[in-house]
């Protein structure tokens, strides 16, 4: 599916034009995003930074098709997202996008193998193939020996690795990570960044929200949001790479 | 393939969610259990009465018209019928002649007598005086020995065919055939034992506690040729002909009784339909009460399940957000919660049919009315339980399915 939706090389994998997101709270209007235009190419590694409340998560949610803009246009993989149905958006989230959250967002009752299998389940992948792919994803994040554990039996770093395995299991084009290291100590955070670097080296497009400069230093491009607007959009010519990750 | 994977996952979630909240689930099913017990018991009672009715219908005969002094089921003022003359043997004979070659006419008279064989005594047994035609009219046959024959009637023989209850009561395990027994003042020789009829029809006669003797002998021993109360059965040549036959019988009877056109019939015509009316009114009450209790219980139970499902959806708001974020469609979430409430109700339904089966045995044992369980009834009850589950779960499940993924993820 990713292959079908892959845009021609000269076209950006995603493009936002004048995207506005306004929340109405009683009589008050909150402009979480007030006119964001950005386009991101395939296999870019982008960091989104900015003060708290500047609209980073809002932007990520719109990119990840979890939320829809109040106005503006958004195209993903060469297709307009604005007029897609609920079910189509669910399929995009399922196959094109891998989401990594600050709070991990694993399902507490399910063991980690099942957590990683979930996207494949909703994608209709049969049992045998599903188990095999989930196992190999868990293997990639170094948790193949913990498959039957429940999330609450794991450390924060391990939980985030499960979440990464879940995000990459369907081999999505785009990985979105909203402060993936926010709840972790710096050493564990570095491990997580190493995995994201590997995914990038693997050809995936990475977009990561962070407050920390040394995390953002892994990205090749850095977008600074302020009050729902892009303040700066800069190229980082020398991104940091974790030792183990090539590139 | 996709749908299948989806259903399996939803089932998985539903089962583990119920398992995680066992105590709550059990309490929730209580209302459903009561409702299912009510609906199942209603159906088993209905079923039992229906088969009892079918039995007596066979004994009465669907194609037989009975002429009697009184209607079987008296509607209105009983006093109106008080002054009617009895039907007597002469009238029965006249009716037989009128229908000669057209329909079979069989008179019967009955009384209660004490039976005695050696030292065994049975009190107040129904003694029926009839002819050899009774088996043709009612399709009841002897199990051993033979029924009355023409010459028994012609020669006023003191022979008797007895019901199974009588056979057991008087003779125990020895064969009654050719034994001499007393029926009231006279001695009779047993020539046959009837087939067991079973099942006492809701307050109706016990067909196994009867004995049959020739009607001529009956008149000879107990009297009543000119005043005894005779019932006359007229069997139609085919079930379709019953209606016409009824009019002909009324016409002939009026002729025999020399009624003027303005006069009302001073006799009654009874048929299976009259029993049907009584059956329907009894069944109607049972069904009405059953339906009322059932619908109240299922409604209350359904509301309980709906409540719990709202709790379940709210508790798992965040989980719904996660599932949606990684690609679950609305219908997957909907299915997950619908299955949960359907399974809760399924469990309630299974407990309910178990209890209802016990209740049914209880009803039978108490002799209040006949009731019987059938696989069809049990399956129907379980299906009803699951339908209630789906209905009760729908609004909460819909609420869960429609949740906005962002808001659901943000829910604490
Ligand atoms: N559902 C909502 N209803 C009302 N206001 C909202 C909602 N979601 C976000 N906002 C507002 O929109 C603005 C942007 O929020 P957003 O979560 O995108 O910020 P952020 O840059 O991710 O902040 P942080 O770094 O703290 O995570 C904030 O002012 C926030 O209060
Ligand atoms: Mg945020």
B69 within a domain of the structure (yes/no) = no
Q: In angstroms, what separates the C-alpha of B328 from chain A's closest C-alpha? A: 6
What is the phi/psi pair of residue B311, to 5°?
-60, -45
Tell me, yes or no, whether B187 and B310 share the same domain.
Answer: no
Alpha helices, H only, B330-374: 330-366
Tell me, yes or no, whether B36 and B120 share the same domain.
Answer: no
Residue A228 CA: nearest ligand 1 atom is 14
The answer to whether the CB of A32 is under 6 A from ligand 1 is yes
A67 interaction partners in chain B (CB closer than 8 Å) = 405-406
B316 interaction partners in chain A (CB closer than 8 Å) = none
Predicted local distance difference test score (pLDDT) of residue B198: 67
Give B65 or B281, the one with higher predicted confidence: B65
> What are the Cα distances from residue A216, in Å, to A168, A188, B122, B253?
21, 16, 105, 111
Predicted local distance difference test score (pLDDT) of residue B8: 84
**Is B323 touching A (CB cutoff 8 A)?**
yes
State the maximum Cα–Cα separation within chain A, in Å, rounded to a whole number. Answer: 53
A95 interaction partners in chain B (CB closer than 8 Å) = 327
What would the pLDDT profile of B117-163 be if each residue is shown by its tens digit?
999 999 999 999 999 999 888 878 899 999 999 999 999 999 999 99
B66 within a domain of the structure (yes/no) = no
**Is A22 touching B (CB cutoff 8 A)?**
no
Give the number of domains in chain B.
2
Which residues on adjacent β-strands are paired with residue A39?
A: A15
Considering only the beta carbons, identify the residue of B5, B16, B321 that sits closest to A109: B16
Examine the fold and report which residue of B266, B296, B319 is the final residue of a domain before the chain moves on. B266
Domain range holding B374?
A: 2-56+277-410
Tell me, yes or no, whether B146 and B174 share the same domain.
Answer: yes
Query: What residue in A sits closest to B319 (Cα-Cα)?
Result: A107
Q: Are B102 and B268 in contact (CB under 8 A)?
A: no
B203 within a domain of the structure (yes/no) = yes
Inter-chain touch B327–A91, beta carbons under 8 Å: yes
Best of B326, B336, B409 to mutate (most A CBs within 10 Å, chain A): B326
Question: If DSSP states are collapsed to H, E and C, what string results for chain B?
Answer: CHHHHHHHHHHHHHHHHHHHCHHHHHHHHHHHHHHHHHHHHHHHHHHHHHHHHHHHHHHHCCCEEEEECCCCCCCCCHHHHCCCCCCCHHHHHHHHHHCCCCCEEEEEEEEEEEEEECCEEEEEEEEEEECCCHHHHHCCCEEEECCCCHHHHHCCCCEEEECHHHHHHHHCCCCCCCCEEEECCEEEEEEEEECCCCCCCCCCCCCCCEEEEEHHHHHHHHCCCCCCCCEEEEECCCHHHHHHHHHHHHHHHHHHHCCCCCCCCCCEEECHHHHHHHHHHHHHHHHHHHHHHHHHHHHHHHHHHHHHHHHHHHHCHHHHHHHHHCCCCHHHHHHHHHHHHHHHHHHHHHHHHHHHHHHHHHHHHHCCCCCCCCHHHHHHHHHHHHHHHHHHHHHHHHHHHCCCHHHHHHCC
Residue A51 CA: nearest ligand 1 atom is 25
Output the DSSP codes for B164-214. HHHHHHHHTTS--TT-EEEETTEEEEEEEEEPP--S--TTS--TTSEEEEE
Mean pLDDT of chain B: 88
Compute the distance between CA of residue A243 and CA of residue B8 in angstroms, rounded to an integer. 43
B62 within a domain of the structure (yes/no) = no
pLDDT over 50 at B174, yes or no: yes
Examine the fold and report which residue of B266, B289, B323 is the final residue of a domain before the chain moves on. B266
Mean pLDDT of chain A: 92
| Structure confidence at residue A246 as a pLDDT band (50, 70, 90) | very low
Compute the distance between CA of residue A206 and CA of residue A178 in angstroms, rounded to an integer. 11
pLDDT over 90 at B5, yes or no: no
Tell me, yes or no, whether B247 and B291 share the same domain.
Answer: no
**Is B411 touching A (CB cutoff 8 A)?**
no
Q: In angstroms, what separates the C-alpha of B276 from chain A's closest C-alpha? A: 58
B146 within a domain of the structure (yes/no) = yes
The DSSP secondary-structure symbol of A113 reads: H
Residue A179 CA: nearest ligand 1 atom is 27
Which B residues in the span 10-69 are in contact with A, Cβ-Cβ below 8 Å? 16-17, 20
Q: Ligand 1: which residue has its CA nearest to atom 18?
A: A55
Compute the distance between CA of residue A24 and CA of residue A31 in angstroms, rounded to an integer. 9
Going by their DSSP bridges, the two strands A205-209 and A45-49 should be labelled as parallel
Tell me, yes or no, whether B194 and B329 share the same domain.
Answer: no
What would the pLDDT profile of B260-272 be if each residue is shown by its tens digit?
988 888 898 888 7
Enter the tokens of residue A98.
């891998």
Examine the fold and report which residue of B266, B292, B325 is the final residue of a domain before the chain moves on. B266
Q: Are A177 and A196 in contact (CB under 8 A)?
A: yes
Q: Ligand 1: which residue has its CA nearest to atom 10?
A: A32
Burial class (CB in 10 A: 0-12, 13-18, 19+), B404: middle
* pTM: predicted TM-score of the whole model, two decimal places: 0.75
**Cα-based angle B84, B85, B86 (whole degrees, multiple of 5):** 120
Tell me, yes or no, whether B238 and B99 share the same domain.
Answer: yes
Tell me, yes or no, whether B123 and B226 share the same domain.
Answer: yes
Tell me, yes or no, whether B262 and B399 share the same domain.
Answer: no
Tell me, yes or no, whether B237 and B283 share the same domain.
Answer: no
pLDDT over 60 at A28, yes or no: yes
Q: What ipTM is given for this predicted complex?
A: 0.92
The answer to whether the CB of A25 is under 6 A from ligand 1 is yes
What is the phi/psi pair of residue A139, to 5°?
-65, -40
The answer to whether the CB of A182 is under 6 A from ligand 1 is no
B74 within a domain of the structure (yes/no) = no
Cα(B291) to ligand 1 centroid in Å equals 55
What would the pLDDT profile of A134-179 be if each residue is shown by its tens digit?
999 999 999 999 999 999 999 999 999 999 999 999 999 999 999 9
**Is A91 touching B (CB cutoff 8 A)?**
yes
What would the pLDDT profile of B283-332 be if each residue is shown by its tens digit?
888 888 888 888 898 999 999 999 999 999 999 999 999 999 999 999 99
Inter-chain touch B406–A61, beta carbons under 8 Å: yes
Domains of chain A: 44-57+90-239 (3.40.50.300)
Tell me, yes or no, whether B110 and B39 share the same domain.
Answer: no
Compute the distance between CA of residue B117 and CA of residue B124 in angstroms, rounded to an integer. 14
Ligand nearest A53 Cα, by number? 1
Compute the distance between CA of residue A30 and CA of residue A39 in angstroms, rounded to an integer. 24
Residue of A98, A104, A241, A233 whose CA lies nearest to A162: A104
Q: CA A106, A109, A112, A114 torsion: positive or negative? A: negative
Tell me, yes or no, whether B131 and B249 share the same domain.
Answer: yes
Predicted local distance difference test score (pLDDT) of residue A5: 52
**Total residues belonging to chain A:** 247
Ligand nearest A211 Cα, by number? 1
Q: Are A20 and A91 in contact (CB under 8 A)?
A: no
B63 within a domain of the structure (yes/no) = no
The answer to whether the CB of A30 is under 6 A from ligand 1 is yes
Inter-chain touch A119–B326, beta carbons under 8 Å: yes
Q: Are A47 and A223 in contact (CB under 8 A)?
A: yes
| Structure confidence at residue B363 as a pLDDT band (50, 70, 90) | confident
Considering only the beta carbons, identify the residue of B17, B20, B327 that sits closest to A123: B327
Type and span of the H or E element at A234: strand A229-235
**Is A10 touching B (CB cutoff 8 A)?**
no
What would the pLDDT profile of B75-101 be if each residue is shown by its tens digit?
677 777 778 888 888 899 999 999 988
Tell me, yes or no, whether B126 and B242 share the same domain.
Answer: yes
């Amino acid at each position: 599916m990713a292959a079908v939706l892959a845009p021609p090389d000269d076209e950006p994998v995603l493009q936002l034009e004048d995207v506005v997101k306004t929340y109405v709270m009683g009589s008050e209007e909150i402009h979480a995003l007030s006119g964001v235009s950005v386009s991101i190419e395939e296999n870019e590694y982008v960091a989104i930074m900015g003060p708290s409340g500047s609209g980073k998560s809002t932007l990520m949610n719109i990119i990840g098709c979890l939320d829809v803009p109040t106005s503006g246009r958004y195209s993903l993989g060469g297709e307009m997202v604005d007029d897609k149905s609920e079910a189509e958006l669910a399929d995009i989230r399922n196959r094109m996008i891998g989401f990594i959250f600050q709070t991990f967002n694993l399902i507490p009752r399910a063991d980690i193998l099942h957590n990683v299998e979930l996207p494949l389940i909703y994608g209709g992948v049969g049992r045998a193939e599903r188990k095999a792919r989930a196992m190999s994803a868990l293997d990639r994040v170094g948790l193949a020996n913990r498959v039957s554990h429940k999330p609450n039996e794991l450390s924060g770093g391990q939980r985030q690795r499960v979440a990464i395995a879940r995000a990459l299991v369907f081999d999505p084009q785009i990985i979105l990570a909203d402060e993936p290291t926010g709840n972790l100590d710096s050493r564990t955070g570095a491990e997580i960044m190493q995995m994201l670097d590997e995914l990038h080296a693997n050809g995936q497009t990475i977009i990561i929200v962070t407050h920390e400069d040394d995390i953002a230093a892994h990205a090749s491009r850095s977008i600074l949001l302020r009050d729902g607007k892009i303040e700066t959009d800069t190229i980082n010519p020398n991104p940091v790479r974790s030792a183990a990750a090539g590139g | 393939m996709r749908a299948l994977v989806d259903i399996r996952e939803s089932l998985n979630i539903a089962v583990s969610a119920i398992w995680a909240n066992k105590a709550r689930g059990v309490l929730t099913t209580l209302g459903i259990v009561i409702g299912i017990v009510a609906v199942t018991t209603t159906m088993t009672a209905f079923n039992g009465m229906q088969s009892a009715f079918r039995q007596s219908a066979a004994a009465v005969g669907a194609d037989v018209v009975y002429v009697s002094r009184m209607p079987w089921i008296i509607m209105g003022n009983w006093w109106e019928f008080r002054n009617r003359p009895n039907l007597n043997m002469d009238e029965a004979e006249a009716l037989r002649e009128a229908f000669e070659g057209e329909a079979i006419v069989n008179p019967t008279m009955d009384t209660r007598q004490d039976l005695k064989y050696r030292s065994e005594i049975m009190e107040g047994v129904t003694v029926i005086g009839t002819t050899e035609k009774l088996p043709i009219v009612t399709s009841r046959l002897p199990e051993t020995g033979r029924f009355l024959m023409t010459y028994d009637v012609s020669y006023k023989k003191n022979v008797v065919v007895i019901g199974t209850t009588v056979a057991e009561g008087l003779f125990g395990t020895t064969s009654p055939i050719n034994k001499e027994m007393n029926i009231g003042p006279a001695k009779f020789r047993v020539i046959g034992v009837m087939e067991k009829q079973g099942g006492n029809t809701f307050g109706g006669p016990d067909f196994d506690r009867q004995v049959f003797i020739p009607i001529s002998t009956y008149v000879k021993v107990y009297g009543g040729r000119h005043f005894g109360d005779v019932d006359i059965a007229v069997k139609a040549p085919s079930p379709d002909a019953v209606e016409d036959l009824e009019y002909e019988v009324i016409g002939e009877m009026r002729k025999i009784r020399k009624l003027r056109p303005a006069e009302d019939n001073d006799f009654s015509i009874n048929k299976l339909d009259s029993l049907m009316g009584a059956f329907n009114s009894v069944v109607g009450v049972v069904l009405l009460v059953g339906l009322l209790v059932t619908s109240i219980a299922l409604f209350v139970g359904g509301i309980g399940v709906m409540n719990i499902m709202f709790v379940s959806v709210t508790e798992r708001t965040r989980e719904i957000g996660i599932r949606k974020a990684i690609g679950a469609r609305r219908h997957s979430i909907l299915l997950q919660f619908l299955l949960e409430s359907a399974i809760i109700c399924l469990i309630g339904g299974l407990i309910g049919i178990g209890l209802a089966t016990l209740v049914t045995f209880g009803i039978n044992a108490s002799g209040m009315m006949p009731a019987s369980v059938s696989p069809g009834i049990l399956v129907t009850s379980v299906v009803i339980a699951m339908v209630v589950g789906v209905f009760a779960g729908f609004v909460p499940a819909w609420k869960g399915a429609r949740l906005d993924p962002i808001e659901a993820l943000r829910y604490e």
